[in-house]
A and B are shown apart, each in its own frame.
Chain A
Amino acid sequence: MRTVKIHYALIVSACSLCAFSSSAQKAPTLTDPEIASVAVTANQVDISYAEIAQKKSKDVSVIEFAQTMAKDHKGVIDQAVALVTKLGVTPKDNDVSKQLNADAEKTKENLNAKTGKDFDKAYIDNEVAYHKAVISTVEDVLIPQSQNAELKGLLQQVLPVLKTHLDHAIMVQGKIK
């Protein structure tokens, strides 16, 4: 029962994104400053998971994956910050970014409660679910709703990075099972 609860909590943040991207009816309408905020928050959340993994895991493939996540997602944030600065846009908090942060706190709490192989499995399972959800959100909500061509272009550029992260996470998931 406890395991079920923990696994449920670990995929909460991924599911919050799923809920936003699963149907056009549920998809929130976001302005460009709000889209920028969601993009930055989603990357910050994954960096925070990677920081936990780098501290807690002893598995080389998990640590290497976490290092890549921390570096790449920081790179995406740097690109996003450079663009909004150039455009004179201030990222604006919204329901999606708030929900992402709230769910990330629950996920981090649960990850921090785990050790050893249980931690590795929980971290990688969450990475697979989270990247699937982020990819759907970027494809179905953020790109279609972006008004500024450069913002849309950046999101399109980020998509193959996210898809490669998902494939990498699935590969690591297969190794640690």
Chain B
Amino acid sequence: MNSDLNCIWRVIYIMLPGIILISCNPQKQKAIPVKHIIEIKEMRFQPAELSVHAGDTVEWINRDFVDHDVTEENKKEWSSTPLAAGKSWHRVITKSAGYYCSIHQVMKGKLLVE
């Protein structure tokens, strides 16, 4: 009986530091996905550069009266449809990307996954 109890205590003693380490290490915890807003206003993405965590959602809202879109810049891996005034589009972000408005090609933005 005593030897059983001793055995259990020994197991707990050995595992405890590991359990504490895992539960306290923030890098091992998955961040809860959050939603970020980027306004398209006065012909600019605002903010033009945004840091997010993988899995976060980014929503772009067109506040201008002309249409805009949101298109991945490097290989055009993703793109919204044209967004009329007041319309929005969202996407779950998994990796860093540069993007632009393919209608007004000088309008550019950047998403940085931390």
Binding site for B on A (CB under 8 A): 64, 68, 71-72, 75, 79, 157, 160-161, 163-165, 167-168, 171
For residue A79, which residues in chain B have a CB less than 8 angstroms away from its CB? 65
* Contact, CB under 8 Å: A68 / B65: no
**A-B CB proximity, top 4 nearest:** A164-B43, A167-B106, A160-B43, A160-B42
* Contact, CB under 8 Å: A71 / B67: yes
**How far in angstroms is the closest Cβ of chain A from B41?**
9
Given A163-B43, A164-B43, A75:B107 Cβ within 8 A: no
Chain B facing A: main interface SS: loop
For residue A171, which residues in chain B have a CB less than 8 angstroms away from its CB? 105-106
* Contact, CB under 8 Å: B105 / A161: no
Which chain A residue shows the least CB distance to B44?
A: A160
Chain A facing B: main interface SS: helix
Interface size class of B (residues with CB under 8 A): 10 to 19
* Contact, CB under 8 Å: B66 / A75: yes
- Can you identify 8 A-B contacts, CB atoms within 8 angstroms? A71-B66, A157-B65, A160-B43, A160-B44, A164-B104, A164-B106, A168-B106, A171-B106
For residue B107, which residues in chain A have a CB less than 8 angstroms away from its CB? 164
Cα(A81)–Cα(B106), bound, Å: 28
* Contact, CB under 8 Å: B43 / A68: no
* Contact, CB under 8 Å: A161 / B43: yes
For residue B43, which residues in chain A have a CB less than 8 angstroms away from its CB? 160-161, 163-164
For residue B42, which residues in chain A have a CB less than 8 angstroms away from its CB? 160
For residue A68, which residues in chain B have a CB less than 8 angstroms away from its CB? 103-104
* Contact, CB under 8 Å: B65 / A168: no
